[in-house]
Amino acid sequence: MITLITGGSKCGKSSLAEKITCNFSGRKFYIATMRPCGEEAFSAIERHRKMRFGKGFETIEKYTDLGEIVLPEKSAVLIECMGNLCANEMFSDGKIINPVDKILNDIQYLADITEYLTIVTNEVGNDGFSYESGTEEYIARINEINRKIALSADNVIECVYGIPVVMRGELYC
């Protein structure tokens, strides 16, 4: 089962994703995709560590290539977050690449081997601003990834001011 949780910055997506995943009785893995660089990143990482402390998650820090992760079958996985993963895949080699197929293949691999996959992503590009070409490319790619995951997900939930709005499926928490 795939659940996609989307929404704006600091709207409660991560708390909701953890709550949903904590309902799973087997092994739970938290795939952290944020590269630890800069004060803001370190603060966000520490905040997320505190949020999931004592909840039974096994953390895997993996910034690219999620298809390389070996997990036990029938486990639960929470990916935090698709926005970071997309940026990491696009820009990590110093050149801009299109990561859509690679990321979607990696997500399908994880969905095939796990019982429950929860993916946190971000709403981006809705502000109407124009950005530099690299940022515009990022916005186009993350939105394409989000659209394609949403089409195949069992549950799609938008978190609005801490309130989960079910777009497809059900809210399991």
Report the CATH number that the domain containing residue 27 is assigned in CATH: 3.40.50.300
Is residue 144 one of the residues assigned to a domain?
yes
Please report whether residue 30 resides in a domain.
Answer: yes
Residue 173 covered by a domain: no
Residue 172 within a domain: no
Dihedral angle computed from the Cα positions of residues 112, 20, 58 and 9, in that order, rounded to the nearest 10 degrees: 100
Instruction: Report yes or no on 126 lying in a domain.
Output: yes
The C-alpha atoms of residue 62 and residue 81 are separated, in whole angstroms, by 11
Sequential pLDDT tens for the chain (173 residues): 999 999 988 889 999 999 999 999 999 999 999 887 777 766 776 777 777 778 899 999 999 999 999 999 899 999 999 999 999 999 987 778 899 999 999 999 999 999 999 999 998 877 667 778 888 999 999 999 999 999 999 999 999 999 999 999 999 87
pLDDT value at residue 43 = 78
Per the domain annotation, does 42 fall within a domain? yes
What is the domain range of residue 102? 2-7+15-166
CA distances in angstroms from 28 to 61, 92, 173, listed in the order given:
14, 28, 15
Euclidean distance between CA atoms 41 and 146, whole angstroms: 22
Whole-structure pTM value: 0.90
Domain count, the chain: 1
- Examine residue 100 and state whether it is found in any structural domain, yes or no: yes
Residue 171 lies in a domain: no
